[in-house]
Structure 1
């Protein structure tokens, strides 16, 4: 009997973005926070939307639809900065579902919080 069924991997291409990149504040960019709701509540970028990434469950069609229908010129995702980074993984999954111009912040939320104030 098979006790392990491999999960199809959803992994597209997402470009890395430095935490100091001015594109983060670009008009028309959709910024997604892949961390837990509690981490989002404690700190997040001002324009960010919470979309917690689950390593075992794919992004729900409703949530993906909200990303697609946002009309954003680019999607920027940041996560927990761990290895693997939840932001990078979410960005790759979104890209694999056909969304273009998807980026992830290298180092995630810790790198964003450590950047110099404008």
Structure 2
């Protein structure tokens, strides 16, 4: 899995999150996903997809600002910074975050783990 393939896969996943394309997300995410949000909440694949399906969470924007890729055996790691706009029942959230994404290799890399923290740089905008 080359760097360009991994970044294209990540971009496809971000687009699917914004579109609420659950079929694509199901294909791009490993069944044993561990997703740690910037607020500390931890979800597996089923819960992550359930919240999107129910409308409990809607991604309005997810944009990578900077990324670095490393390969470790059959794993691809992306160290990045992103901005997101997310709608939840409690209101909208706009955040800048630092993240690590771990992809399990092969011809079709799948997201195995995601861990993000809020960035010290504030998100711009209103």
Pair in the same fold by TM > 0.5: no
What TM-score, normalized to structure 1? 0.27
The structure in which a higher percent of residues are strand is 2
Structure of higher RCO (CA pairs closer than 8 Å, 6+ residues apart): 1
